[in-house]
Structure 1
């Protein structure tokens, strides 16, 4: 599933269409007449979700597990196309994703401060949410989009390795300073992810995700399905502590 940093990069690619009118609509999810002639006023992000804001309506795009996008040139089959938007200065194509029309007022229901890559990210609010869930595993907390919107499995694994905490640790057992570390590294690694993805070196930077040995002690990493999210965790039982 594309994580928050990938969605930020997507926004950068489609930003050139802001202020432009839609001159054609394709794909299987939205009737052409709904968006035809409408101007794209703004693009807003909430974690892994993208909101294309038009007059009195917005389109929410979620790339899910296998979604993707292309700019200007369509190279994938129409059967995968969920939404295609044409403007005078180019085209945007969204494939194998969720596309939903939502009223403009829906935006008021979103906690924008939960987006880990947002300029208005609220770390204190995140900490209060963690404290109120003492029985939750840290792996589930990081994957909880109401707490860390935009964090996915890669960020989860790498952030936990950075703070030397095993994924099945309980939030209530973590010292306050470790909670602070958890919050900080969820955001820090997200921006590193963005920088490395943009430069094409992301996979070379992984320390534990889909790796075999710990970069510190050299011992084999443990791979295990953890938490309620049932996602794969990669961790070192020597260099990461179970709380």
Structure 2
């Protein structure tokens, strides 16, 4: 699988699929730089793995471990000696292990899972586009580039998905939400989800980069014009867009 930086929602779902084989299995050993009473996890059964956007929750009977890969985090199903200094948490089982590097690891109360709005996850079965539209309209002055990166609105969307979904919808990243026609607002909501699933499919097949239309590209695939690279919105995250094919609203 491509080792792409800045994990996004689809990357996390692929990680979940890799780790799923350990659900129902007993933890044998716990190590890494994450400070925790090892007794909380050693000998305990991993009952479930849940994901919310860019976050992964390893669920045990009396505790939950939250993993956030941040911008440069990674995971492996085998211990990487070259990353030994960056190991935050390693869990071994009878038939293998899971190892998390350069990431944020936190122990949370199982009740915390009940406070998460799972409908905000663009790749969840509970995803609610109508609710998402309401949240966008409640932030009328926000640029759409900022809204797409807001994890309370589009949980799981990162910079790649933001840029590619906006290109698909023909929307300039600096467009203001209240200026977007209703049809366009619905379209970007749909494309944020659609591109997320395409991202997952392409990344699993190691061909994600081949499908980029604007992200780190030089010329627009539609008109041939030079792709503009600019830090946009309050978040000042890099946007890649075509002035000809993406309308500023």
TM exceeds 0.5? Answer: yes
Matched, 1:54 2:70: no
Contact 1:25 1:31 in 2 (8 A): no
Contact 2:164 2:213 in 1 (8 A): yes
Q: 1:213 Cα shift? A: 0.5
Distance in 1 (CA, whole Å) between partners of 2:248 and 2:114 is 39
Distance in 1 (CA, whole Å) between partners of 2:54 and 2:222 is 32
Contact 2:76 2:99 in 1 (8 A): yes
Matched, 1:64 2:77: no
Matched, 1:9 2:14: yes
**Gap runs ≥5 in structure 2:** 1-5
Q: 1:77 Cα shift? A: 2.9
Matched, 1:224 2:230: yes
Equivalence for 2:214 = 208
Where do 4+ consecutive residues of structure 1 move more than 3 Å?
Answer: none
Equivalence for 2:44 = 38
CA-to-partner distance for each residue in 1:218-237, whole Å, 9 max, x for gaps? 01011000011111000000
Distance in 2 (CA, whole Å) between partners of 1:119 and 1:170 is 29
Contact 2:83 2:101 in 1 (8 A): no
**Gap runs ≥5 in structure 1:** none
Equivalence for 1:190 = 196
Distance in 2 (CA, whole Å) between partners of 1:151 and 1:239 is 22
Matched, 1:95 2:83: no
Other structure's SS at 1:169 match: coil
Q: TM-score, normalised by structure 1?
A: 0.98
Alignment of 1:166-181 (within 5 A): 166-181=172-187
Distance in 1 (CA, whole Å) between partners of 2:244 and 2:116 is 40
CA-to-partner distance for each residue in 1:41-74, whole Å, 9 max, x for gaps? 0000000000000012100000001000000343
Distance in 2 (CA, whole Å) between partners of 1:25 and 1:56 is 16
Other structure's SS at 1:77 match: helix
CA-to-partner distance for each residue in 1:57-105, whole Å, 9 max, x for gaps? 1000000010000003434332100000001111000000000000000
